[in-house]
């Protein structure tokens, strides 16, 4: 999920103004809100408009960290300028609970015919489908071949069944650092629950929530505290960088400062184009006393139930998700695996044949089938994620693990209490 700076927003605003001025008075214009970079959907929007004369799409781009607040403020106040918007999978239950999503049950047949089962489950809540499955995700262990060679380290196997353990990766990362790498290892989404959750799940300590509705925090068990101390020590030891935002992490790897990085598969595209970067991919590591677990779950496409242009909104949402050509095109600039069955296969073929990343398709396919674990599905997820991301940020920047987790539990209990 890339960052968007002020200049990009100004340019995006100018582009929207130009697009609107070019729309005829007879055109129906729908609003599309997402957190991707400006221009990420320009091509697929142009294709949709060409295939659907009379419908224009006005794209609005909001940074990920501000998207939830925007959705709650605008849809909660009955704003109809947003007709279609991207919804992170674990937020579907909360948004459905709040009445922010159109019930898509009558489209179930079309959705099940076009999309893979796991993303459909991610778009569902309480027996109904509330969003169109759009993307899924997997992770790679990216490694810098030149830095490993300088340290006399072997390249990890590209076979997901032979993935490394954390007990193997971290000593090698230290050796790479001693041989000249500025940093040995880092998580791309360094304080995001999405990428940290597998550490706990790998060792059987659970997602940090319990109870029938997953509205009871469970962060202070010995296993959670011990694993959080392991995470904290990555940064306290100097192996991973403090004071760097997740938006800055890919640049550390592409500029040759980082030996190993766990990151989303979508980074492979930009790394291929990075001048002078000699890199490879392997499957995400796991603890030797645990089992391989990898994060998954990505974006869905929701329709505002208060939209005054529902037919046009549904047509655009279906074009992005159920139309295989539209789904593949929407996964080009933002190269995440489509949930659409046909587009998913075409995506893996395209990315596997792009060069420099042999094993791309095998790792993605293996991990989605064998190791992927979704984030908790509960109406409390928005509260949970926002507090966990802040807690992990505090810990990687020096806060002690146990008291931080105890504080987070208190905040979550109060937040969950307001949901019931």
Phi, psi of 398 (to 5 degrees): 125, -20
pLDDT of residue 334: 85
Which residues are CB-neighbours of 259 under 8 A, at least 6 positions away? 143, 144, 147, 148, 151, 172, 173, 176, 177, 181, 183, 184, 185
State how far the Cα of 195 lies from the Cα of 124, in Å rounded to an integer: 22
Question: What pLDDT sits at residue 420?
Answer: 63
Backbone angles phi, psi at 63, to 5 degrees: -55, 145
β-pairing, 183-187 vs 258-264, is parallel
What is the rounded distance in angstroms from the CA atom of residue 329 to the CA atom of residue 313?
18
Tell me, yes or no, if the pTM score tops 0.75: yes
Instruction: Report pLDDT for 25.
Output: 54
pLDDT value of residue 16: 46
What's the confidence (pLDDT) of residue 419?
A: 85
Residue 162 tokens read as 């032979």
Backbone angles phi, psi at 309, to 5 degrees: -130, 55
pLDDT means per 10 residues, the chain with 420 residues, are: 42 46 69 92 97 96 88 92 96 95 97 95 95 96 98 97 97 98 97 96 97 96 98 97 91 97 95 95 97 95 97 98 97 93 96 88 96 95 95 96 98 90
Are 259 and 278 spatial neighbours (Cβ–Cβ below 8 Å)?
A: no
């Amino acid at each position: 999920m890339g960052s968007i700076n002020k200049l990009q927003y100004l340019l995006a605003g100018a582009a929207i103004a130009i697009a609107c001025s070019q729309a005829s008075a007879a055109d129906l214009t729908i609003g599309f809100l997402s957190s991707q970079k400006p221009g990420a959907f320009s091509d697929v929007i142009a294709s949709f408009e060409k295939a659907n004369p009379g419908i224009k799409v006005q794209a609005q781009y909001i940074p990920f960290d501000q998207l939830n607040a925007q959705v709650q403020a605008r849809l909660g106040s009955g704003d109809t300028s947003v007709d279609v918007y991207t919804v992170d999978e674990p937020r579907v239950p909360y948004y459905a609970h709040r009445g922010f999503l159109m019930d898509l049950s009558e489209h179930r047949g079309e959705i099940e015919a076009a999309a893979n089962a796991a993303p459909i489950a991610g778009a569902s809540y309480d027996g109904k489908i509330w969003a169109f499955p759009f993307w899924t995700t997997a992770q790679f262990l990216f490694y810098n071949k030149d830095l490993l060679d300088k340290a006399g380290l072997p390249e990890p196997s590209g076979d997901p069944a032979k993935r490394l353990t954390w007990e193997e990766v971290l000593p090698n990362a230290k050796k790479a650092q001693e041989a000249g790498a500025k940093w040995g290892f880092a998580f791309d989404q360094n304080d995001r629950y999405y990428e940290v959750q597998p550490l706990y799940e790998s060792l059987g300590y659970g997602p940090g929530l319990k109870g029938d509705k997953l509205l009871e925090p469970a962060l202070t068990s010995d296993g959670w505290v011990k694993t959080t101390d392991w995470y904290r020590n990555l940064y306290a030891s100097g192996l991973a960088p403090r004071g760097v935002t997740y938006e800055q992490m890919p640049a550390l790897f592409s500029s040759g400062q980082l030996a190993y990085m766990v990151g989303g598969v979508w980074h492979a595209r930009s790394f291929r184009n990075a001048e002078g970067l000699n890199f490879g991919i392997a499957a995400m590591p796991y603890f030797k006393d645990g089992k391989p677990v990898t994060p998954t779950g990505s974006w869905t496409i929701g329709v505002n139930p208060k939209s005054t242009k529902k037919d046009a909104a549904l047509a655009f949402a279906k074009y992005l998700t159920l139309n295989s050509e539209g789904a593949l095109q929407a996964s080009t600039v933002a190269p995440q695996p489509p949930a659409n069955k046909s587009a998913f296969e075409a995506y893996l073929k395209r990315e596997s044949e792009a060069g420099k990343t042999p094993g791309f398709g095998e790792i993605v396919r293996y991990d989605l089938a064998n190791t992927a674990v979704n984030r908790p599905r509960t109406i409390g997820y928005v509260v949970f994620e926002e507090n966990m991301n802040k807690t992990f940020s505090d810990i990687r920047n020096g806060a002690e693990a146990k008291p931080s987790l105890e504080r987070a539990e208190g905040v979550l209990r109060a937040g969950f209490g307001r949901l019931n």
